[in-house]
Structure 1
Amino acid sequence: MTKVLILSDSHGLTKELKEIKKRHTVDYMIHCGDSELEMDATELEGFYMVGGNMDMDHRFPDEQTVTIGGLTFFIAHGHLHNVKGNISTIAYRAEEEGAQVICFGHTHIAGAEKLGAQLLINPGSIRLPRNRQEKTYAIMEWNSKDDIKVNFYTETGEIVPDMAYSTML
């Protein structure tokens, strides 16, 4: 079983990032931007990360493509892909990179959805959520492309049952 912790839009939080990292045993971690921390901050150690529109450290890449557990992930904050307007621009960019999974933030709206052969995951925000009360992050886990699960957790580690998502790619 491969497990990936995905979070975004932590906007300066440090204690909460440390607690979330300690709470879960995962294989990989992704931060989709707007950490508002320096790229080499200890709280971000171990994360694949990208820069968001509120990140001032210009060492953050705008996007990353990584292969994890047989799936290719495209990671971007989303502000450069107009995700507040629609998700097709980021989906097209991820397709150019050969990615099946797209991780992004910027909207602060948590959710997972399948679009064609791609899975899009926005973990929401652990600081300033929109459209829901819960401050959230996500964990994606899979044994095979036929059995992918995405669970959302509150900032304090409680699962958000009505947001659970399962699919195959």
Structure 2
Amino acid sequence: MRILIVSDTHKAHGNLERALEKEGPLDMLIHLGDVEGKADYIEAVAGCPVHMVSGNNDFFSDLPWEEEFFIGDHHVFITHGHGYFVGMNEDRLKAEARGRGADIVMYGHTHMPALTVEPDLITLNPGSISYPRQKGRKPSYILMEVDQDGKVSCEIRYLG
């Protein structure tokens, strides 16, 4: 299974379209918020099932703040992250994920990619595919692959 994970598109979808073309075909798209009213468009261009949550800039959105679902045997918890103060650190988010029994937690908000693999929890942030803030400011996303045995691998990827 191939899963594209993005966040913080903020109505600018050129790089999302590029990533979809580059990484396709995909089995799932996960968007971690700040779609700014463009959820229908994102679902239309994805070409696969989509999980999407609202972010701090998704005013009047019907998208959920958080979502839990399974990818195979993996319990996934997704949120934009601002409610867990991820701009300071991941501690509250990780505690919440563990409290929910998740073994994968995903968030956005910071516009900076991050990936931490611990024995009981994978924590990831794809950064922003539209407005990156990390050093070098390259648009980023994460490609997650789950093999036939359920083993998860994640890679932060960048658009040139």
Q: Give the TM-score band, short-chain normalised.
A: 0.7 to 0.9
1:25 maps to which residue?
Answer: 25
Would you say the 8 A contact 1:75–1:104 is kept in 2?
A: yes
Residue 56 of structure 1, aligned match among 23, 48, 59? 59
1:91 maps to which residue?
Answer: 94
Measure the CA separation in 1 of the matches of 2:135 and 2:9: 16
Would you say the 8 A contact 1:4–1:27 is kept in 2?
A: yes
> CA RMSD, aligned part only?
1.8
Length-normalised TM-score, structure 2: 0.86
Letter paired with 1:8: S
What does 1:1-169 align with in structure 2 at a 5 Å threshold? 2-23=1-22, 24-39=24-39, 41-45=40-44, 46-133=49-136, 134-143=138-147, 144=149, 147-155=151-159
Q: Any stretches of 5+ residues in structure 1 without a counterpart? A: 157-169
Measure the CA separation in 1 of the matches of 2:10 and 2:58: 9
Would you say the 8 A contact 1:38–1:57 is kept in 2?
A: no
Would you say the 8 A contact 2:8–2:130 is kept in 1?
A: yes
Length-normalised TM-score, structure 1: 0.81
Measure the CA separation in 1 of the matches of 2:158 and 2:43: 19
- SS of 2:63 mapped into structure 1: coil
Displacement of 1:55 after TM fit?
Answer: 0.9
**Equivalent residues, number:** 153
Letter paired with 1:43: I
Measure the CA separation in 2 of the matches of 1:153 and 1:114: 17
Measure the CA separation in 1 of the matches of 2:2 and 2:74: 12
